A and B are shown apart, each in its own frame.
Chain A
């Protein structure tokens, strides 16, 4: 009997160690805001959703588009405004339901519904039709050659599951709503949700019926995700071996991580720009000269040197270099010039300055709060008395987006790698389907028309010319004060083989252990 017990205990311990060897303990500064895949268009939220849900196509660890739930796609030869997608067969959701075209039609319509933050990505879509069980047509208003770029974060949910749990539309995070899908999931992805405590710990386990089992390495059997806001605690967790991978190594600790044995550092430029939004409709900042003064009062070089310790690329445009439309000329940032800024303030009639509140997240971007604090000092040089209001992102984003703020920090990643994505969210006048992240009050009918025209312009040279024109208008209006493009630093144990993804999106089915 005793022998029996010992043997089974030995077997148990062997199976336990082998299981834990494939567990990845992963930490970053902030948590996903909601598990509802269409309710937030935000990086860390998408990152967690990507483990559980699939989109029709996705970006791999190098940033190139690869097939996911769709295996082939092409515009119809006789009608370029219809894209036809062939769907992957034999895929099941985590609850066992079969995946077919009905789910795609349902999910894309859900992502276009009220309360969805993904609808700007589908603003050119007229109709989504199921042709047969494994074929879907997406018809756009005029030909949209870049439609597929907009689908990389467009997750597919099960229609039946959504019906029976009454989650037919996304919940509005800004209004404080929640629904069943906020905490529960049913995707087709590589991992299934086991447990979730918001801002504490989320556990995922490998999906035994994952369609990509033979396509990707799939060596990870369990993911334990713990958001750790304090940068010192986060890096301590990595150094002590409490976690295996952190996505945001604090810039002051890069050397420490790199020189620690058993750890390695992976660095790459990120497809994300950090900037400040300014109200152009009301108050002193409605005066263009004030915004120009603020723009040249920001000392981007010293932010890079001191706050970012060299880990950023200062820029003069709210567009990362990955994006179609980027030019070196646009990227040039204005010279830091306090004297000229003061002159501009005086011309605008604010030689005595004014008071303003700067809303800032403190758990989203690299050194977000420290950058804002530095900006407070720089604005004080030209007489602007800034009160800093730094909050966790879950509270910051509704304030920034809702237009309550006259001055706020935002970062923008561009998953489509195209300027239109920036225009449609950040520049177009705020309307029902467009401009949801443009609370600055900037509204220009000509620019709006040019933005919409991009969606159906098939002549790519003409399209690029329009993009350049829109950028010229934005640079003139200066409703956004660009700061820099982020540099990504992932710290991990050296037995992990994992590329830094330019969108800061780790897809764990690609991870390999040495």
Chain B
């Protein structure tokens, strides 16, 4: 710990206000989501606890029928918005993290194989990546989502809706990982320590996993943070378009979609608070990711 606090990395971090602020905001959001069941005044995912008469209560005002007061008001179903945002954040963050993991594992593996083994395998993987790059990733995610929903038996669709979201976002975001890892691998594989490893008779797999991989990982970390923000926005977009999680268990995107219907009628809080939360989350991750990229890339120093 002490070593960490004295490192260049930490020095740079503590002297970059943007990094500190974005990191703190990000951690607050993460902790709020993790401890949602302690912080949130009620559980919006338990339909039995809802009272429809609380619907459309403005923030910090008493409901005209029930007299209850809510910090951020309620939505059209009488759900406390503050609680719903916290619980919705869980879904958004979980989908984001899992999708990034999937994209990372897939992209790193394919990039490593393409870069180290080369030949027709390289051509095949990278041309496939090029083709996927020509489609917007949200379109790829929607395509995978649609196919998966059609293939799954109807009674499984709901249990699986989060898994389907993860897979469709994950599969649409693997390309940047693969391209970066391939590039670094091409450089690494010509270096002397790899030649040495070959000389002592290590298998290709051992060289790739034990020698090349640790040396190509630092840019992956940077891409992972940026992709994490993208994945959260992709989840929100899919849910906004109504193809994501069910409305009874809303994520941030679902809440924004619901809120959009009530903009003209002056119930602004249903849209505003979830949208601000999404903004804060995506912005803090992006700013932190930017700083991480600058720090980990010695050429920029």
Which residues of A line the B interface, CB within 8 A? 230-232, 235-236, 239, 250, 252-253, 255-256, 299, 302-303, 305-307, 357, 362, 369-370, 373-374, 376-381, 383, 386-390, 404
Contact = CB atoms under 8 A, between A and B. Distances in A.
Contacts of A239: 264
Contact of B265 (A253, A374, A381): A253
Interface string B254-283: 000000111111010000000000000000
B265 A255 contact: yes
Interface in B67-88: 76-78
A68 B264 CA distance: 42
Contact of A306 (B52, B155, B157, B262): B52
Contacts of A389: 154, 157-158, 246
A235 to B, nearest CB: 6
B261 A230 contact: yes
B143 to A, nearest CB: 18
25 contacts: A230-B261, A232-B260, A232-B261, A232-B262, A235-B264, A239-B264, A250-B265, A256-B265, A299-B52, A306-B56, A307-B76, A362-B242, A369-B247, A373-B248, A374-B52, A376-B47, A376-B248, A377-B47, A377-B48, A378-B52, A380-B47, A388-B246, A388-B247, A389-B158, A404-B154
Interface string B41-55: 000001110101101
Contacts of A303: 52
Given A232-B264, A370-B76, A307 B47 contact: no
A255 B264 CA distance: 10
Given A303-B52, A373-B248, A376-B47, 6 more contacts: A235-B264, A306-B52, A306-B53, A306-B55, A306-B78, A390-B246
Contact of A387 (B46, B76, B158): B158
Contacts of B78: 306, 377
Interface string B141-185: 000000000000011011000000000000000000000000000
A373 B77 CA distance: 7
A256 to B, nearest CB: 5
A-B pairs with lowest CB-CB distance, top 8 = A380-B48, A380-B47, A252-B265, A306-B55, A377-B47, A377-B50, A302-B52, A232-B261
Contacts of B76: 306-307, 370
Contacts of A250: 261, 265
B214 to A, nearest CB: 46
Contacts of A369: 247
A256 B261 CA distance: 13
A230 B248 contact: no
A373 B84 CA distance: 15
B261 A373 contact: no
Given A377-B77, A381-B48, A387-B158, A252 B264 contact: yes
A386 B158 contact: no
B53 to A, nearest CB: 5
Nearest to A235: B264
Contacts of A404: 154
B271 to A, nearest CB: 10
Contacts of B77: 370, 373-374, 377
Given A370-B77, A387-B158, A253 B264 contact: yes
Contact of B52 (A307, A387, A390): A307
Contacts of A378: 52
A230 B267 contact: no
A387 B262 CA distance: 25
A27 to B, nearest CB: 15
A231 B52 CA distance: 21
Contacts of B267: 252
A338 to B, nearest CB: 10
B52 A377 contact: yes
Nearest to B65: A305
Contacts of A373: 77, 247-248
B247 to A, nearest CB: 6
Contacts of A370: 76-77
A252 B265 CA distance: 6
Contacts of B248: 373, 376, 387-388
Contacts of A255: 265
Nearest to B259: A232
Contacts of B264: 232, 235-236, 239, 252-253, 256
A164 to B, nearest CB: 36
Contact of A231 (B55, B56, B261): B261
A444 B246 CA distance: 37
A494 to B, nearest CB: 19
Contacts of A236: 264
B69 to A, nearest CB: 17
Contacts of B260: 230, 232
A252 B158 contact: no
A227 to B, nearest CB: 15
Nearest to B258: A370
Contacts of B262: 232, 252
A91 B177 CA distance: 69
B286 to A, nearest CB: 28
Nearest to B271: A232
A356 B76 CA distance: 23
Nearest to A376: B47
B265 A387 contact: no
Given A230-B260, A373-B77, A388-B247, A380 B52 contact: no
Given A235-B264, A374-B77, A380 B46 contact: yes
A386 B265 contact: no
Contacts of A232: 260-264
A323 B155 CA distance: 38
A304 to B, nearest CB: 10
Contacts of B246: 387-390
Contacts of A390: 246-247
Nearest to B74: A306
Nearest to A254: B265
